A and B are shown apart, each in its own frame.
Chain A
């Protein structure tokens, strides 16, 4: 173990070095570029034995990862904003191919207009591609989550790509002490070398991702006997595997924590035991809201916090269990640094759907905060939360999503 002073990007790069990624392909984009700059240096200095493919676009970056992973290598890429959006087609491809690719996303607002600062619109827009999405709130978590992500994606019960997301600049360019695991044997005990489940081998030729029909096909060698499935069966299997992720991740997180002393869980809770109101969010915004909860507690509001780490698959059962165990909850206030334009924050919609599916009649208020990197303080989060708490206490449970710290009139 070594304690290093690293920004979030360099924490991600160090994690890739320490797990021994074999093929890296990436294209520069702010604020992610320092990840791949550092990895280039590791490769050129011989500290990491990997092929680094300096591609000409993000679409090619993810394609190189798809092809290299199919061929049998442990792969890594990183991106942000427009770059991640350019990968979109291939994100579907990676998930459909069941490849354990790990992608670090330094979250940044997509254009237009141009903006390089953080929001989660880039990764949230990739929500439905079949990737696991894990959000981090500090640099140690970035380092640890990338190691966990390989373990998760490479698990034979999962075989899915994993996106590790963290807020641009707020984490990507902020130095923090990070404990790294520089003993490769220790890492290997937790994460053994990649055993590919796909292969491209001239000695055992097969065609990968053939055109696949909507209807069920039979094994040509055993006509009418052996069913081979079809496109819907492949996609169903992906969904079934993704639904196993929450339980699997909890096990991986426990194993990681037992070995290295740091536990995260699929969500992090703060002051929730007696909470009547829950602030709910992802990333650094929810991290900041710990202070807001403290402020509101001083004012007499019993406020707790959930910072969701695993956003996709959405941990429905775990959240229902949490709500069931906390019968005092009168309302949930969701802060989204993203927006499904024309409706509301994506995390809010997902949470509401989970509550509805379990027949919980708990009011959920939504605030859109920090779009395009707009600074949001703990006081602003507290003030908005307080407003919602008072409304809910008065029985005003219905409220449209509201932007906070926005210089516009309705």
Chain B
């Protein structure tokens, strides 16, 4: 990424008001706050059934100071398409349309309407905040729940691998795909800004790692620690795919360049109760996979 922003470069205007219904230590609220700062006032949002629905408040009190349309669980891509179509015909093309959905709403039930919207090249930014399970309904497993994680529907740990949603979106040929991490807000801000300013007119997709204290089993005050461990151990990489070209950014790039030492994955797993049933052997296997992935990164980028 071109210019590295500093905290003073982030606008002071807040779009999330006090009194949201999010849990304390929620990664989603942190990510949302900075995403909205990046997109600014001239934005319309649509949100499916999710933790975000709850975050926005309960009628007649709203906790977000931007127009937002609630939509059904599987319909976020279509809802954003409808807003876009109406804005186009009403001559309001400059307004940014943000679709903001969780991992269940994106990778499972909503993948069809998202894929349709992306295939049509709909002028929207679609963001998936990924807390790696259906948290709003009480932590059931999703297609984005990682191997080994406890959820209420995988009481002995998930037996399957997760979907790689950013790669699925990149395969649609859209011009901008990025990953972000809720605990690196400046990187996240910059990616939303870039999506808005540099790729207007087509579908842009940002997938955000979004730790969840009650769902993952860590204390709210540990949000930043857990989030950072996700990237510092190489579990959640920060990258962009711009017109098909893959580049690593921020901490992940620094690890590959040898500027920061990568931490062992066991630090990440053992800091959360949801991986209590993950065996040491399994953790060793995952470590080997991560090592192999980073060897490939080094071959390409170091």
Contact = CB atoms under 8 A, between A and B. Distances in A.
Contact of B79 (A66, A72, A75, A217): A66
B67 A63 contact: no
A121 interface: no
Nearest to B73: A89
Nearest to B65: A205
Contacts, number: 162
A206 B67 contact: yes
B72 A60 contact: no
B53 A57 contact: no
Nearest to A218: B60
A53 B81 contact: yes
A72 B86 contact: yes
B69 A209 contact: yes
A193 to B, nearest CB: 11
Contact of A90 (B44, B70, B72): B72
Given A207-B68, A219-B60, A56 B85 contact: no
B64 interface: yes
B58 interface: yes
A220 to B, nearest CB: 5
A13 interface: no
A284 to B, nearest CB: 33
A54 B86 CA distance: 14
B272 interface: no
B100 to A, nearest CB: 12
Interface in A10-26: 22-23, 25
A202 interface: yes
A57 B56 contact: no
A93 B72 contact: yes
B217 interface: no
Given A59-B75, A230-B59, A23 B89 contact: yes
Interface in A38-83: 49-51, 53-57, 59-61, 63-73, 75
Contacts of B86: 22-23, 51, 67-73, 75
Contacts of B42: 202
B176 to A, nearest CB: 21
A51 B85 CA distance: 6
A219 B75 CA distance: 30
A68 B81 CA distance: 8
A60 B75 contact: yes
A228 interface: yes
Nearest to B49: A211
Q: Which of A53, A59, A207 has the most CB of B within 10 A?
A: A207
B81 A67 contact: yes
B113 A63 contact: yes
Contact of B78 (A59, A69, A213): A59
Nearest to B54: A211
Contact of A53 (B44, B69, B82): B82
A90 B71 CA distance: 9
B77 to A, nearest CB: 7
Given A67-B78, A68-B83, A201-B67, A57 B57 contact: no
A202 B95 contact: yes
Interface of B: 41-44, 46, 53-54, 56-62, 64-72, 74-75, 77-83, 85-90, 95, 112-113, 115-116, 119-120
Given A68-B85, A202-B41, 17 more contacts: A23-B85, A23-B86, A25-B81, A25-B82, A56-B112, A61-B78, A64-B78, A64-B82, A67-B71, A67-B86, A69-B82, A71-B90, A205-B65, A207-B56, A210-B57, A211-B57, A213-B59
Leading 9 A-B pairs by shortest Cβ distance: A67-B82, A56-B116, A71-B86, A60-B78, A63-B78, A64-B82, A68-B86, A51-B85, A73-B86
